[in-house]
Amino acid sequence: MDELKLLEYLDSYLTDNRRTRFKKVLAQRTKHFTVATEDVYQLHNASAVMRSCDVFGIQELNIVEEVNSKSIDREIAMGAQKWVDLNRFHSTKSCIDHLKTKGYQIVATTPHAEDCDLIDFDITKKSCFFFGRETEGLSQQVIDEADCFLKIPMVGFTESLNISVSAAIILQHVTAELRKSEIKWKLTEEEAIEKRFDWIKKTIKDYDAIVEHYKSKT
């Protein structure tokens, strides 16, 4: 079966506005950067991070649930759970191992002796930004396996930011710099097609029946 012809057929079930929106958003999606949260306790924080991923074009979010395991808050995520791919891991080690097999460097977002200021971050490398627990911060395992350490410069009395705020600041900066660069950061054609199928399936009713009807005619 020609999947491009099937995709064209499925597109006909979308409104013109939704079809245009899908193409526009997909053109800005990236897997060059990804995000990982490590046992975030507050549900609204994990949900807000997912929302930021969607807003700034990050296609995948990795969640470590070694201690805390909760569902994404749909109200706070504002529907982002439909458009962002969520990878769940039961341990920090399995998450890091998975990311490294995908070619990502591990970036610990925490103050450290060898910090890199956000403004100086090297965007050319595929990177996963790790965010830790609200109170304890990142685990020692992430610190030990991190390839670099990233901080947001602060000049006030407060020495830390909420995890969701930190994620939003970092993602806004690195994705803006990425889009100004000549790096090949966009999804591959195969990845984009896969996402179009996925989003269409989450959008139209009776998806399976429509596909079966198409198959019966071809």
Work out the percent of the chain whose per-residue pLDDT is above 70. Answer: 89
Cα(42)–Cα(78) distance, integer angstroms = 17
| Type of residue at 131 | F
Q: Which domains occur in the chain, in start order?
A: 1-27+188-218 (no CATH), 30-185 (3.40.1280.10)
141-191: pLDDT as tens digits: 999 999 999 999 888 877 778 888 999 999 999 999 999 999 999 999 999
Residues 38-59: what's their mean pLDDT? 84
Left, alpha or beta for 137 (phi > 0: left; psi -120 to 50: alpha)? left
Residues 30-55: what's their mean pLDDT? 86
CA 39, 137, 77, 201 torsion-angle sign: negative
Question: Cα torsion at 15, 19, 24, 29 (round to 10°)?
Answer: 120
Output the pLDDT for position 80: 65
Q: What is the average pLDDT score of the chain?
A: 88
> Which strands make up the sheet holding 127-131, listed edge to edge?
85-89, 60-64, 33-38, 127-131, 105-109, 148-151, 115-117
Alpha carbon separation from 213 to 1, 11, 176, 194, 202 (Å, rounded): 13, 15, 43, 20, 18
pTM for this model (two decimals):
0.90
